[in-house]
Copies of this chain bind each other. A is one copy, B any other.
C-alpha cells in the first residue's frame, strides 16, 4: 500500500505501547520477553508492535540463540523531527509568522476584521492550490 516513510513513522509513534518500547530500547537492546514484561499483554502482541516499529525502520532485530534482540534505530525519528521542525516558527516565534501573514493580507483587503481572506463569492475557484510562502514541508 505504498505508505510513505513519514506516515509509517508517525503512525508507529501514535501508540503509547510502542513509544514505551522505544523508551525501553533507548536504554539498550532488549528481547521480546523483556519488552513485554511491563505490559499486560501477550508476547505475540509485543512481537506485533515490534514488527510495526521494524517496518517503520525504528527498530532492527538481531539474532542470539533463541533470542531476537531488538535495538533502537533512530534515523526515522530524525526525519520526523525535521518535518515537525518546519513548523517550529509557529510555536517558538511567538506566532509571528501567522500574524504577519494575516496582517499583510488584511492590508490588501481592508475589511474582514478577524477572519482573514474570504473573497470567493463565485463558484469559480481562485487558484489557491499551493499558496505556501515556503516550500511544502511534506515534500
**Residues on the B chain within 8 Å of A37, using CB:** 125, 128-129
**Contact B29 A116, beta carbon cutoff 8 Å:** yes
- Cβ of A134: which chain B residues have Cβ within 8 Å of it? 26-27
Residues of B contacting A91 with CB < 8 Å?
74-75, 77-78
- Contact yes or no, B81 A129, CB < 8 A: no
A108 CB-CB contact with B under 8 Å: no
Asked if A48 CB lies within 8 Å of chain B CBs, one says no
Tell me which of A26, A114, A136 has the highest count of chain B C-beta atoms within 10 A of its own C-beta. A26
Partner of A7 from B16, B88, B102, B105 at Cβ < 8 Å: B16
B-side contacts of A71, CB under 8 Å = 98
> A residues bordering B, Cβ < 8 Å?
4, 6-8, 10-16, 19-20, 22-24, 26-31, 33-34, 37-38, 62-65, 67, 69, 71-72, 74-75, 77-78, 80-81, 83-88, 90-92, 97-98, 101-102, 105, 112, 114-118, 125, 128-134, 136-138
- For the complex of A and B, the 6 pairs showing the least CB-CB separation, nearest first, are A11-B14, A74-B90, A64-B115, A10-B14, A10-B13, A78-B91
